[in-house]
Structure 1
Amino acid sequence: MKYLFLILGFANFSVYAADWPTYRADASRSGVTAEQLTLPLWEAWKHQPLHAPRPAWRGPAKRDLYNKVGVLKNRQLFDHAFHVIADAGNVYFGSSADDQIHCLNAVTGKEKWTYFTEGPVRFAPTLHGGKLFVGSDDGHAYCISTDGKLIWRQRLAPRDYRIAGNNRIISAWPLRTGILVLDGVAYAGAGMFPSEVVHIVAFSAANGKDQWRATQTDLPAQGYLLVSDDRVYVPGGRSNPVVLNRTDGKRLRTVSGSGGTYALLTGNTLVFGPGRKGQLGLVPGESKDIFATFAGNHMIVSGEKSYLHADKELSVLDRVRYLKLEGERKQVAAQREQLGKQLAQLRKQKSPELPNVQEQLIAVGRRLDEISTGMKACVLWRVDCAQPHALILAGKTLFAGGNGEVAAYSVVDGKQVWAASVNGAALGLAVAHGRLLVSTEKGTIHCFTSK
């Protein structure tokens, strides 16, 4: 990532500008940049491609009457907009409609070049070392220069076998994870049908040659990959993510939960969702089980705080204290359950120890009430938010995408400090070099800057 520091001697502030080199900024998919945009923003340009995105999957049914779920969440919402990445001079995106990688001039929005693949490009490119890394539904990984020239092309699919998919001809092993690059190694998944064997591949960023290849026959690979220092996390579409050893690709575990392609890492702690009901599950590093759940669609982790983004509200949580209390709550709840069983036995035996256990049970109940009160107090502020589709953090400003608009909120108190209209539902957000880039489900890309 390139950093640019502009020190303005005539003012008491500095502007910190950086690339947005991959989907949601980094390999953790944090959605966080230190760059602070000066509000208000104004639309600098708008790019409207000839065709809107063509998602791979339709949305879910409106409701699940059998399980009494009123509104079902879309757990495969990864290609409903042209998600962008950007450096100082260019904005890049892939298209599921015309099979191309596009490069726009970051200042004017004018198209500079395009590069054709042989299938839909459903995921944003990754910019690393001055090169673009792109996966296509044609089963290949591409390395392209920032002026649109092919450097190498490598088939990650086990063989070149094409099928009909989404009214197109695609590989039986499309790349539906995006590509991440870390320390000279690229990572991607090929395949969406476990019966055909799904491949997770680590390969050289220099030439595309395999370094290791893991296969799975139980789960697909769909959704943006995440990578930590020692782990690779592979979303499974409507299924749950798989955790692999980054060194050799050995599967470590499949985490529990309700599925979904939205995910982020904080260290080796995974947060993912939204499941069927709009819930995010938090899975600690060495566990496969969900430790805590949060009602919402997205989360931003910054320091000791978590910003939670739900359908109608935005809130900030003292995450460290909350998780500490959640751990204690689980222990005390288990103690209460054990005491309850013990009390039932003592009643049958008419034991003289009965009053003592009753007192313990009452004390444990009081402690649970205290913990519950403490957990509620961990919410530092909560505000109404009518933009439920996307959330990022830029400096001290949260940007949220909604239906026909994008809005900014202060991290200090949650106050809405700016808003602007966009063409359609704002599903993708990025901040780079003084620009807010907004991608909508109609294919439109808006660029907002300070005047």
Structure 2
Amino acid sequence: MRNIIFFLPFFVISFSWAADWPTYQHDYSRSGVAGESLLTPFNEKWVHKSKHEPRPAWRGEAKWDGYNKVYDMKSRQVFDYAYHTVIANGLLYFGSSADDKIYCLDAASGKERWVFFTEGPVRLAPTIADGRVFVGSDDGNAYCLDAVTGKLIWKSRLGPKDYRIPGNGRIISRWPLRTGIVVIDDLAYCAAGMFPAEGIFISAIDVRNGKIQWQQKQGDLPAQGYLLASHTRLYVPAGRNNPVVLNRSDGKRVRVVKGQGGTYALLTGDSLVFGPGKTGTLGFVEPNKSDQLASFKGNHMIVTSEMSYLQGDTHLSALDRSRYLDLARKRSSLQSRQKGLSEKLKKLKPTSNSERKILQKQLTELGQAIDRVTAEMGQCFPWKVNCDQPLSMILAGKTLITGGHNSIAAFDASRGEKLWSGKADGDVFGLAAANGRLYVSTNRGIIHCFEAKRLIK
């Protein structure tokens, strides 16, 4: 069996990758949970300064939505605001949206090992599996490279032809690859395409030779943001739109979930958390459902067996997620009954006064019950603390690490106590932890490497 990482509600299934960080947010559930504990304080060991800052595909959301009266809108497409790093076997890798290259550095020293050129911006982090680098480019190709030498093993075009167009001030494929690549067993999963009318091609590629094993075309939603995978499903973020759920075996669509859109997503089993929508809200969708069961005010979430953690614009909080969701299910059931009674009340004849009074009483009691459950849901937060870092978050053991504007911080996950803070050159959109080190990526093309005081595996 090849290297596989999934994140389930209570544990990580991992073969040989525990201390590495071989894909974006550590695993294909995009959990952001490291396979080791890092203890503070952190000391800066090296800094890598790219010649060019990242050039994001999308420069941010509109400031307001006049039709829906939504102001201070969140950007829903921030997947390429920094050079996100992945780390495996003592080497660090990242792609550049500015100079179209894939870089390999020594993870301990920051010294450059090799560089590989593609023909378009590389917007999402590579995936490392079986001694190979898998990465996609805006040139429309998926690449497989030798992880040690950078030598090309194969490349595979996902779109129907090699057709180039102007895009983001560059020349790119009409079908750029902006989903990252998920590698499980002998298949590499990815998708290409930006304009639904031109076709979006979701593909499974044989990792041995680059040949496409199956491909599904969709014409209604784009594919932008890191793919996620469970044991049976693929989850495809769709930019500002809502994610698409597919069968992993053949790529056939299962459903499109409902929500406010966004490229940020994580899995707990086959439950999906995604957002941030227009207002910084994360939606929670249960397995085999399309509607949201609950929503959480925040930008990012970390899920563990004991607790979940929410990162907002100004606060960091712990959430008893299991209790919260039980209450959310109870509230949803009450709201469904409330809706049914309201519809029944509307249809009553004017002469049905006695029945009207009964329904009105029942609706009042249901409203009070909903208020009580909502109040209980508000008590599912063991702690909440001020946090000036709203842009990124990971967990290493019992240490929560957050990234913000020119700063990073570490918090005790059990109490919320701030343990350490440090400076970074730019806005910290990327964090990774591997082999006793913390890697910090900013929107200025800077990668900081910090070494932990002590490491517990």
- TM-score bin (small chain): over 0.9
Asked whether the equivalents of residues 399 and 408 of structure 1 are also in contact (C-alpha less than 8 Å), the reply is yes
Amino acid at match of 1:194: P
Q: How much identity, in percent, do the aligned residues show? A: 55
SS at match of 2:333: helix
The residue number in structure 1 matching 2:293 is 291
SS at match of 2:122: coil
Q: Do the aligned partners of residues 151 and 60 (structure 1) sit closer, same or farther apart at CA in structure 2, a change above 3 Å counting?
A: same
The residue number in structure 1 matching 2:327 is 325
Report the Cα distance in structure 1 between the residues aligned to 2:4 and 2:40, rounded to whole angstroms. Answer: 24
Asked whether the equivalents of residues 406 and 421 of structure 1 are also in contact (C-alpha less than 8 Å), the reply is yes
The residue number in structure 1 matching 2:276 is 274
The residue number in structure 1 matching 2:8 is none
Alignment of 1:418 onto 2:420:
yes
Q: How does 1:55-74 map to 2 (within 5 A)?
A: 55-74=56-75
Q: Do the aligned partners of residues 170 and 326 (structure 1) sit closer, same or farther apart at CA in structure 2, a change above 3 Å counting?
A: same
Amino acid at match of 2:134: F
Q: How does 1:92-107 map to 2 (within 5 A)?
A: 92-107=93-108
The residue number in structure 1 matching 2:119 is 118
- Asked which structure has the greater RCO (Cα within 8 Å, sep 6+), the reply is 2
SS at match of 2:39: coil
Q: How does 1:45-444 map to 2 (within 5 A)?
A: 45-147=46-148, 148-340=150-342, 348-349=350-351, 351-352=353-354, 357=359, 360-444=362-446
Report the Cα distance in structure 2 between the residues aligned to 1:344 and 1:62, rounded to whole angstroms. Answer: 39
Q: Do the aligned partners of residues 129 and 361 (structure 1) sit closer, same or farther apart at CA in structure 2, a change above 3 Å counting?
A: same
337-346 or 238-247, which deviates more:
337-346
Q: Residue 292 of structure 1: CA displacement?
A: 1.2
Report the Cα distance in structure 1 between the residues aligned to 2:336 and 2:247, rounded to whole angstroms. Answer: 33
State the TM-score, normalizing by the size of structure 1.
0.93
The residue number in structure 2 matching 1:13 is none
Report the Cα distance in structure 2 between the residues aligned to 1:350 and 1:156, rounded to whole angstroms. Answer: 64
Q: Do the aligned partners of residues 284 and 2 (structure 1) sit closer, same or farther apart at CA in structure 2, a change above 3 Å counting?
A: closer
Report the Cα distance in structure 1 between the residues aligned to 2:55 and 2:275, rounded to whole angstroms. Answer: 22
Asked whether the equivalents of residues 20 and 35 of structure 2 are also in contact (C-alpha less than 8 Å), the reply is no
Report the Cα distance in structure 2 between the residues aligned to 1:388 and 1:17, rounded to whole angstroms. Answer: 27
Alignment of 1:18 onto 2:19:
yes
Report the Cα distance in structure 1 between the residues aligned to 2:339 and 2:254, rounded to whole angstroms. Answer: 32
Q: Deviations over 1:366-425 (max 9, x none)?
A: 422331222111111111111000011111111110000110111111111111000000
Q: Residue 166 of structure 1: CA displacement?
A: 1.7
Q: Residue 183 of structure 1: CA displacement?
A: 1.7
Q: Deviations over 1:21-43 (max 9, x none)?
A: 00001111111123111210100
Q: Residue 266 of structure 1: CA displacement?
A: 0.8
Report the Cα distance in structure 2 between the residues aligned to 1:58 and 1:362, rounded to whole angstroms. Answer: 47
Q: Deviations over 1:279-327 (max 9, x none)?
A: 1111111111122111111111111422111111111111111111111
Amino acid at match of 2:82: A
Asked whether the equivalents of residues 90 and 106 of structure 1 are also in contact (C-alpha less than 8 Å), the reply is yes
Q: Do the aligned partners of residues 32 and 353 (structure 1) sit closer, same or farther apart at CA in structure 2, a change above 3 Å counting?
A: same
Asked whether the equivalents of residues 438 and 452 of structure 2 are also in contact (C-alpha less than 8 Å), the reply is no
Structure 1 gap segments, 5+ residues each:
4-15
Q: Residue 151 of structure 1: CA displacement?
A: 1.2
Q: Residue 337 of structure 1: CA displacement?
A: 3.8
Q: Do the aligned partners of residues 360 and 168 (structure 1) sit closer, same or farther apart at CA in structure 2, a change above 3 Å counting?
A: closer
Report the Cα distance in structure 1 between the residues aligned to 2:343 and 2:235, rounded to whole angstroms. Answer: 40
Asked whether the equivalents of residues 88 and 433 of structure 1 are also in contact (C-alpha less than 8 Å), the reply is no
Asked whether the equivalents of residues 2 and 19 of structure 1 are also in contact (C-alpha less than 8 Å), the reply is no
Structure 2 gap segments, 5+ residues each:
6-16
State the TM-score, normalizing by the size of structure 2.
0.92
Asked whether the equivalents of residues 101 and 117 of structure 2 are also in contact (C-alpha less than 8 Å), the reply is yes
SS at match of 1:429: strand
Report the Cα distance in structure 2 between the residues aligned to 1:340 and 1:155, rounded to whole angstroms. Answer: 55
Q: Do the aligned partners of residues 45 and 2 (structure 1) sit closer, same or farther apart at CA in structure 2, a change above 3 Å counting?
A: farther
Q: Do the aligned partners of residues 360 and 256 (structure 1) sit closer, same or farther apart at CA in structure 2, a change above 3 Å counting?
A: closer
Q: Residue 341 of structure 1: CA displacement?
A: 5.3
Report the Cα distance in structure 1 between the residues aligned to 2:224 and 2:271, rounded to whole angstroms. Answer: 20
Aligned length: 439
Amino acid at match of 1:246: R
Report the Cα distance in structure 2 between the residues aligned to 1:53 and 1:284, rounded to whole angstroms. Answer: 35
Q: Do the aligned partners of residues 119 and 375 (structure 1) sit closer, same or farther apart at CA in structure 2, a change above 3 Å counting?
A: same
Asked whether the equivalents of residues 230 and 247 of structure 1 are also in contact (C-alpha less than 8 Å), the reply is yes
SS at match of 1:222: coil
